[in-house]
Structure 1
Amino acid sequence: MANSPHSGSHTGFPVRSALRWLLSGLIGFLLLCGCHQQDAANDSAVPPHITSITALIWAPDWPEQMLQIAAEFSKLNPDVHVDVQFMIGNTVEENIKPRVAAGTLPDLVSVNPNAYSAGLADQGVLADVSQTTAWKTMLAPLKRDWTSRRGKGFGVSGGVATTMIYYNRDIFAKAGIEKPPANFDEFLRACAQLKRAGFTPIMLNGGFPNMLGNGPFASGFANDVVAHEPAWKSKMAEGTLDLDTPAVADIFAKIALLPERGYVQASYMTTGYDDGMRLFKDGKVAMAFQGSWAAGLLLHGNRFPVGVFIPPWNARGEPVVPVLGSETGFAVCETTNKAAAMRFLEFIAGKGFPILQRKRHNISPFQNNAGTAVSDPEIVDYTNAVSRYSMTASPYYSTLPSNTLESLHGLMQDVLLKKMTPSEAAKRLDESVKNDAKMHYK
C-alpha cells in the first residue's frame, strides 16, 4: 500500500502545508524569544532602588568640598543619594538638639567629641561605629574622645584639632619683634609694640563667639584651670569643680583686655568667621587666633610669609598648656538608612578625606591617610611639638557641657560689651556647669 498510486497523489499538499505551518511556528517562536530577551535586557537596565540619606554637616569654611564628597560617593554608589544640609549658627549642638527633641535627626551628622554626643550614643540615638574601618584606622589617642561611658564608639574625628596664633612675619619684622612671645606678659608687650608701629595687633571674632571659645577662652581655661587641677574633667562631671574663682575670672578679663587696650580691629564685635580670615589675609591685622583646620586658607595665597606659635596665655615663669584634641567629626544616627549612612561615613574617612585636605591642610586623624593627606610642614611640626607636652587641654567644645557652650558665648560677648564683669561671668559659668552635672551625672 505504500507504493499505491493513491498514496503519492494525496501526500504532496499536506507535507507542504505542514512545512509552512512549522516554518511560521518557528518564526513566531524566534520572535517570541526575541521579545523575552528584549524584556530581560530592559529589566537589567532598570536602575537599582535608590536610598536617599540626609547628612547634616558643620562646614563653615568647606561647604564646596562636602558637596564634592557627596557627589563622588554617589558616583561610586549609584544606589545611594546624599542630601547634604549645612548647620548654621554658632555651635553643632544648637543644630542637633531641636532635631533630637522632634525625632527628625538626619542619617549622618556632624558631632563634637563631648559628653552630650556620648550621651546620645548611650541613649540609642547615635549608632556604634566601632566596627567600621574609619574607627579602626583612627589614631588611638583620639578614640578616647569618641568613646561613650558604655563603651560605644559614637563617631570619627574630622581632624586633629589644635589652636594656635597665626602671625604675619613681615609685620612682626617691621615692628621690630624678633620672636613670638612666650607668655602673656610678653604677648601684651608685643601687642603694644605692634600698635606703636601703626599695626592692628590681633583679630577678634566678636561676631562669631565660637572662635572666642576656640581661641582665648580655650587657652585661658588650659592655663588657668587645667594647669592647676589635674582632675578637672572628673570634677566637672561630678559638679565639684569650682569655677567661680579669680583664675576663671581672669580668663574673661584677658579677653576683655585686648579691645580695652586697642589691640583689636575697630569692628571686632561684628566680625564673623570669614570676615576675620579676610582681615588677616589682607594684611590688616598682625595676628589671628585660629585652629589647625584653617591652615590651608591662612598659610597660602598671601603676599607675606606666615608663622604660627602656641597661644602664650601662661603666666611668666609657668609652662604653657597648649590645646590639643579631636576636631568636630561625623556620626551615624539610628535610622532606617543606617547601613547606607555607614557606607558614606567610610567614604568620608577614606576616599573622600583628601578632598577635604586639599583645602584645609589639617592633620589627618586616620593612620591610613598619614602618608597621603595634604598637610603643611609647619602645621605638622607644630602639632608634633604640642603633642610632646606633658600637659595639654581639650578644645572648648569637648571641655564644657553642651548647655554651657551656648551660655558661654553670651557671657563672653557680654563681657566684651561691658554688660557683665569678668567675675560675674565666672560665677555664671560655674552655675551652668554645676546645673548640668545635677541634671546628667547625679
Structure 2
Amino acid sequence: MRRLGVLGAAVIVTVGLTACSVKQDTGGAGDGTPKEINFLTFETPNLPPAYWDAAIKRVTDKYPDIKVNKQVAPTTQGRTAYAKQLLQSGQFPDVMIAVDPAGFAEAGNLYDWKPGELGDFQFPDANPIKGGHHQLPANTQTIPPIYYNKKMFADAGITATPKTWAELVQASEKLKAKGLQPFVIGGGKDGFPAAMIMTGVVSVDVYGKTPDWLTQRRAGKVKFADSDFQAAVAKFADLSAKGLLDKDSVSRDYAATEQAFLDGKGAMYPMGNWFAANADTKKHDFEIGVFNFPSDSGKLVVPAYTGGGMSVNAKSKNLDAAKRFAIAFQTDKGQIDASVKADGLVPAIKGYQMPSDIGPVLKAGYELYKEAVDKKAVVNSFGWETADDGFLPGFKEKFYAVAQDLVTGRKSAADACAYLDTEWEKAG
C-alpha cells in the first residue's frame, strides 16, 4: 500500500523495544452491572477455539464488568458476509474482528475511532473510509509469499529460489517433469486459496508500477480489461493452461489446502504469512522455505496489508464496554504473543517486542518483510485492501469466483477481466 512502505519502517524501529505501550486501565462501569457484548470471531487451523477463549478471558479478568458472548463466523473467509446477515436480521455484533468495514462504515454502522483512542497503534491513519477510522490497525501481513518444500526443489534439481516470473515457471516445469505437483492451491467454501497466485501477480505487476491502481479504478480512470491488468491475469491463466495447477483442487477448502502442502502433495504454497506459524509447529517430514513472489524483471515488490483488527458497532447499547474490550484485546501482550506464534503476523503496536522463540519459517518471512521495508518495496496486496483504496462491497466474492474459473479454464484472461469490470459496475 502507498503508506505501508513508510509505515512499515516503524515496525523495524519499534519491534525491538521491551514492552507494549498499552495503558493498563482497569476501570469498570462503576455500578456493578455486567455490560454484555457479542464478539464475532472466526476460527482457522491457526486460531482454534482455545486461542479465542484464552484471549477473551484475559480481557474479562481485567474488566470484570464486561461479559462477552463469543460468536463464530461459519467459514474462515465468510465473516464479512456473515456480519451482513447479522446486520440485516437485527443481530449486528457489538465487536467484530477482521470484518471488512467497507459498506458498514459508510452506512454509519461502525464506530469511528478518534485519534486519542488510537495512541497505542503505530499506524493510526491506516485504511481510512471517508476520512474516518473504523477498524483498529492491529497488524501487518505479507500476502502472499511462496512457501516451498526444499526436498522437492532438490529432487527436481532446483538450486535457487525463483527471483523472476520466468524462473518460477521454469521451476514449476522441472517439478512437473519429475512427477511432482508444482503448486498447492484450493478454493471451496473459503474461496481465497484459489486466488492467492492472482493476488501475487497483480500486486507485483500492476501495483509495482501503479501503486494506487485500485484507487484509480474506483475513480473510473482504469479498468480490469486494460492491458497491464489483463497481462497479469493472463500469466495466472497460463500456469493452468500449461498443466502447472491442479484444476480439481479448487473444491478443497482452506484447512484441507494447508494440510495438503504439509502432507507433501505439492512443492509450492502461495499463502499469507500467517501460514508460517503452522509451518513451524505442525507435523511435516520436510524442511519448509519461503521466498517473495517474483516479478518479471526480478525487481523486489512485496504485497502486504496493515489492518485486520476490531471494529465496533456504532449503535451498541454498551458502546463504552465494546470499545474498552476491543482496545484491551488488541493491545494485550499475551494475546499479541499468542497471535504472532499462531498466525505469523507482525504486530503494529507501539513498543511491542517480537517473541525471541519464534520459529525459523516465521523468522525468515519476517526478514523478507524487513528487507522490503528497507528498500521501500512494499505495495498493497490485491484483494486484501480495505477502506477507500479497497474493493467495493461484495466484490471480493466475485474475485474469488473468477480466480477459480481461470484455474479450471472456464474463463480466459480476457473473459475474466471483462467479467470483473461488469461486476465492479454493479457493485458501484
Tell me the TM-score range normalised by the shorter chain.
Answer: 0.7 to 0.9
1: CA distance between counterparts of 2:112 and 2:356? 26
2: CA distance between counterparts of 1:92 and 1:393? 25
Unaligned runs of 5+ in 1: 1-46
Query: Relative CO higher for 1 or 2, CA cutoff 8 Å, sep ≥ 6?
Result: 2
| 1:154 aligned partner | 134
Q: 1:257 to 1:271 in 2, by over 3 A?
A: farther
1: CA distance between counterparts of 2:300 and 2:416? 24
Note the alpha carbon deviations across 1:114-147, whole angstroms, 9 max, x for none. xxx25533543111233566x322223xx34332
Unaligned runs of 5+ in 2: 1-30
> 1:148 deviation in Å?
2.5
Tell me whether 1:54 sits opposite 2:34 in the alignment: no
Which of 211, 228, 231 is the matching residue for 2:193? 211
| 2:105 aligned partner | 121
> 1:319 deviation in Å?
2.2
| 1:88 aligned partner | 74
1: CA distance between counterparts of 2:374 and 2:406? 34
2: CA distance between counterparts of 1:59 and 1:159? 18
> 1:256 deviation in Å?
3.2
1: CA distance between counterparts of 2:238 and 2:298? 21
What's the secondary structure of 1:380's corresponding residue? helix
- Name the stretch that deviates more: 175-184 or 88-97: 88-97
- Aligned-residue Cα RMSD (Å) equals 2.5
Aligned residues of 1:111 and 1:330 also touching (Cα < 8 A)? yes
What's the secondary structure of 2:135's corresponding residue? coil
1: CA distance between counterparts of 2:310 and 2:110? 10
Tell me whether 1:397 sits opposite 2:378 in the alignment: no
Describe how 1:115-264 pairs up with structure 2 within 5 A.
117=101, 120-131=104-115, 135-140=118-123, 143-150=124-131, 152-162=132-142, 163-207=144-188, 208-213=190-195, 215-264=196-245
One-letter amino acid of the structure 2 residue matched with residue 146 of structure 1: N
Tell me whether 1:285 sits opposite 2:269 in the alignment: no
> 1:291 deviation in Å?
0.8
Aligned residues of 1:411 and 1:425 also touching (Cα < 8 A)? yes
One-letter amino acid of the structure 1 residue matched with residue 182 of structure 2: P
Aligned residues of 2:309 and 2:330 also touching (Cα < 8 A)? no
| 1:110 aligned partner | 97
2: CA distance between counterparts of 1:221 and 1:277? 23
1: CA distance between counterparts of 2:152 and 2:328? 42
2: CA distance between counterparts of 1:251 and 1:289? 16
Which of 66, 72, 85 is the matching residue for 2:58? 72
Aligned residues of 2:138 and 2:348 also touching (Cα < 8 A)? yes
Note the alpha carbon deviations across 1:229-249, whole angstroms, 9 max, x for none. 344243122122221134333
Q: State the identity %.
A: 20
Tell me whether 1:406 sits opposite 2:397 in the alignment: yes
2: CA distance between counterparts of 1:202 and 1:307? 14
> 1:265 deviation in Å?
4.5
Q: 1:110 to 1:222 in 2, by over 3 A?
A: same
Q: How many residues align?
A: 381
What's the secondary structure of 1:299's corresponding residue? helix
2: CA distance between counterparts of 1:182 and 1:155? 35
| 2:344 aligned partner | 361
- What TM-score comes out, normalization by structure 1 length? 0.79
Aligned residues of 1:294 and 1:362 also touching (Cα < 8 A)? no
Larger helix proportion, structure 1 or 2? 1
What's the secondary structure of 2:380's corresponding residue? coil
1: CA distance between counterparts of 2:357 and 2:67? 28
Answer with 1 or 2: which has the greater Rg. 1
> 1:55 deviation in Å?
0.8
What's the secondary structure of 2:64's corresponding residue? coil
| 1:27 aligned partner | none
Aligned residues of 1:132 and 1:346 also touching (Cα < 8 A)? no
Aligned residues of 2:245 and 2:407 also touching (Cα < 8 A)? no
Q: 1:230 to 1:358 in 2, by over 3 A?
A: closer
What's the secondary structure of 1:291's corresponding residue? coil
One-letter amino acid of the structure 2 residue matched with residue 100 of structure 1: L
2: CA distance between counterparts of 1:424 and 1:203? 25
What's the secondary structure of 1:249's corresponding residue? helix
- What TM-score comes out, normalization by structure 2 length? 0.81
Aligned residues of 1:279 and 1:285 also touching (Cα < 8 A)? yes
Which of 264, 280, 299 is the matching residue for 1:319? 299
Q: 1:131 to 1:66 in 2, by over 3 A?
A: farther
Tell me whether 1:432 sits opposite 2:413 in the alignment: no
1: CA distance between counterparts of 2:258 and 2:116? 36
What's the secondary structure of 2:105's corresponding residue? helix
What's the secondary structure of 1:393's corresponding residue? strand
Describe how 1:24-63 pairs up with structure 2 within 5 A.
48-61=32-45, 62-63=47-48
2: CA distance between counterparts of 1:433 and 1:385? 35
| 1:6 aligned partner | none
